[in-house]
């Protein structure tokens, strides 16, 4: 389990169920978590989540699956964005495509992130969604629609199984 991310945590690569949070294309990390909410204090970080995204209220008390279109997480890709996602209850990310650094940050910090061509149209806001990394699927539990996730590279799968990069390094004896 990653020691770097606060908030709810599933077992590595376990299927997760959550309410869909649906985003479009080119969502910048500065919109997801504005820089004026950077802090070491979890409450401050939590307050900043979705600070600039209208109509996306969150209280952090329920599990969520974030679905998005192309280039999700473009921009600065700060680590505090990942912390704010976790604090808001986000358990998995599924997007048509991700900003490169954002995608790598998510996996390094143990937050499952998968590409899928149908991600943005899988569910409507608030519908229940299941992401099953081992089966390689995402399912809209309200409609029964299931889509295939792009398989992770074997290296990144190992990192997620460990709970993130730091636990993976620790397991290998690379941290002393």
Reduced to 3 states (helix: H, G, I; strand: E, B; else coil), residue 53 is: coil
pLDDT of 68 over the 90 cut: yes
Q: Please write the tens of the pLDDT for every residue from 9-53.
A: 457 788 999 999 899 998 877 777 666 566 656 666 666 566 544
Q: Please write the tens of the pLDDT for every residue from 90-139.
A: 889 999 999 999 999 899 888 899 999 999 999 999 899 999 999 999 99
Consecutive H or E run containing 22: strand 16-22
Tokens of 164: 């993130």
Q: Please write the tens of the pLDDT for every residue from 136-150.
A: 999 999 999 999 999
153-171 burial: b if 16+ Cβ within 10 Å, else e: eeebbebbbbbbbbbbeee
Confidence bin at 158 (pLDDT 50/70/90): very high
Decide which of 146 and 56 is more confident: 146
Confidence bin at 3 (pLDDT 50/70/90): very low
Q: Is 120 left (phi over 0), alpha (psi -120 to 50) or beta?
A: alpha
Residue 135: predicted pLDDT: 95
Integer Cα distance of 152 and 148 in angstroms: 12
Tokens of 36: 């004026």
Q: Please name each of the domains of the chain with its CATH number.
A: 16-171 (3.20.19.10)
Tokens of 24: 């479009």
Integer Cα distance of 17 and 104 in angstroms: 23
Decide which of 175 and 111 is more confident: 111
Residue 52's nearest CA partner among 75, 20, 70, 79 is 75
pLDDT of 171 over the 50 cut: yes
Tokens of 146: 């299931």
What is the reported pTM? 0.84
């Amino acid at each position: 389990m990653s020691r770097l991310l606060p908030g709810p945590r599933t077992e590595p690569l376990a299927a997760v169920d959550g309410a869909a949070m649906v985003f479009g294309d080119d969502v910048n990390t500065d919109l997801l978590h504005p820089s004026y909410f950077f802090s070491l204090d979890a409450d401050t970080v939590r307050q900043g989540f979705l600070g600039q995204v209208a109509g996306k209220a969150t209280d952090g008390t329920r599990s969520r699956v974030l679905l998005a279109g192309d280039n999700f997480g473009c921009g600065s890709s700060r680590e505090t964005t990942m912390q704010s996602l976790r604090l808001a209850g986000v358990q998995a990310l599924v997007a048509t495509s991700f900003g490169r650094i954002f995608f790598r940050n998510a996996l390094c910090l143990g937050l499952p992130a998968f590409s899928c061509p149908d991600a943005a149209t899988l569910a409507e806001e608030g519908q229940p969604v299941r992401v099953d990394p081992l089966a390689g699927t995402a399912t809209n539990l309200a409609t029964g629609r299931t889509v295939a996730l792009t398989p992770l590279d074997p290296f990144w799968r190992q990192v997620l199984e460990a709970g993130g990069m730091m636990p993976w390094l620790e397991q290998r004896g690379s941290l002393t």
